[in-house]
Amino acid sequence: MIGSVQQLEEMLSKPSEQDLSAMQALDGDLLILGAGGKMGPTLAMRAARAGKRTIAVSRWTDTDAKHRLEAAGVEVLSADLLDRKQLAGLPDVANVLFMSGRKFGSSTDPALTWAMNVYLPALIAERFSTSRIVAFSSGNVYPFMPLGEGGAREETRMDPLGEYAQTSRGRERMFEYFSRTHGVRVAMLRLNYAIDLRYGVLLDIGLKVFERKLVDVSMGVVNVIWQGDANSVALRAFPFASSPSTVLNLAGPETLSVRAIANRFGEHYGVKPQFTGIEGPTALLNDASRCHRLFGYPSVTPDEMIEWIARWIGMGGQTHNKPTGFQTTNGEF
């Protein structure tokens, strides 16, 4: 079992054999933009531990994360990526991993969300036009899918709901434009949803059960993937960066019932979960079978994640205190 943040980050940042091979085969250094978020620190550490010179860029409002990265051998730079002068001052590298983005607060300050999710990708594609770029996107670009049809595939027409999802499509369109017109090599990863013990859909549900609060089942089913597995795919996706751009769904293979997840947590805590809302006939779902064919199935199962998170909650483990809002059905974040 995972008993501390240090043990958790050790596990999340430990490169697999496939990661080691991929980083050894990847020519040039790695620049991670927006590395100060929830996924960035352990992803940067994983790359550095795989022997790749890794440079992590953020505004670093979380100074503790900055210090942990420096201790792990990651080179750390501070920059506001929306500032053209600061962006121009970043080193030229062969490989760029783009993680910057904004979701929460999109309904109250949509202009900033459009700047971060649409304007900034255009700046990045222009600044690093000769680099390979792997960019995180979101499964929110898809329409809600009928449950009987499974998740959206990469060929599914984008039909985003709400301001945030619209800017996620805008992010992709900017990279697509520069890839088509300027030959920028891009791979976009449409993620649904990364899981860490400190945040994520499973933590949101587990906390509701533990605290005897109502679990909203309006979004009746979800996809999840262990953050370490998502990090691994991101590092191994550079050979698929192409012009025109490549798109890959990044999610676990299972369609998980929110009600069933809550009941599993209830078994751990000896309580009967209480629910609100009604499961609808559609949900935000990704079919990541193409990704699984290329990179293999995730190494951590949903059952394992639920068990780890249940114990983490029970021991009072640290969280980021950032609910995902996964249950949102109107697109407002």
* Between residues 229 and 107, the one the model is more confident about: 229
pLDDT at 62: 83
**Could you tell me if residue 307 is left (phi over 0), alpha (psi between -120 and 50 degrees) or otherwise beta?**
alpha
pLDDT in tens, 74-120: 999 999 999 999 999 999 999 999 999 988 776 788 899 999 999 99
Question: In this structure, is residue 266 part of a structural domain?
Answer: no
Task: Report the pLDDT averaged over residues 65-81.
Answer: 95
Question: In this structure, is residue 48 part of a structural domain?
Answer: yes
pLDDT at 260: 98
pLDDT at 329 over 90: no
Instruction: Give CA–CA dist 259/214, Å, rounded.
Output: 11
pLDDT at 10 over 90: yes
Domain that holds residue 141: 5-192+227-252+286-295
pLDDT at 211 over 90: yes
pLDDT at 331: 75
Task: Report the pLDDT averaged over residues 141-160.
Answer: 94
In one-letter notation, the amino acid at residue 65 is A
pLDDT in tens, 163-196: 999 999 999 999 999 999 999 999 999 999 999 9
Question: In this structure, is residue 326 part of a structural domain?
Answer: no
Q: pLDDT averaged over the chain?
A: 95
Contact (CB, 8 A) for 286 and 148:
no
Task: Report the pLDDT averaged over residues 62-78.
Answer: 93
* Between residues 226 and 162, the one the model is more confident about: 226
SS3 126: helix
pLDDT at 61: 87
Question: In this structure, is residue 69 part of a structural domain?
Answer: yes
How many Cβ atoms from other residues are within 10 Å of residue 178's Cβ? Answer: 22
pLDDT at 281 over 90: yes
Length of the chain: 333
pLDDT at 251: 97
pLDDT at 34 over 90: yes
Kindly report the CATH number assigned to the domain that includes residue 173: 3.40.50.720
Question: In this structure, is residue 13 part of a structural domain?
Answer: yes
pLDDT at 332: 80
Q: Read off the pLDDT band of 148 (50, 70, 90).
A: confident
pLDDT at 122 over 80: yes
Question: In this structure, is residue 243 part of a structural domain?
Answer: yes
pLDDT in tens, 292-312: 999 999 999 999 999 999 999
pLDDT at 271: 96
Tally of structural domains, the chain:
1
Question: In this structure, is residue 46 part of a structural domain?
Answer: yes
Question: In this structure, is residue 219 part of a structural domain?
Answer: no
pLDDT at 151: 95
Instruction: Give CA–CA dist 143/188, Å, rounded.
Output: 18
Percent of the chain with pLDDT over 90: 91
How many Cβ atoms from other residues are within 10 Å of residue 207's Cβ? Answer: 16
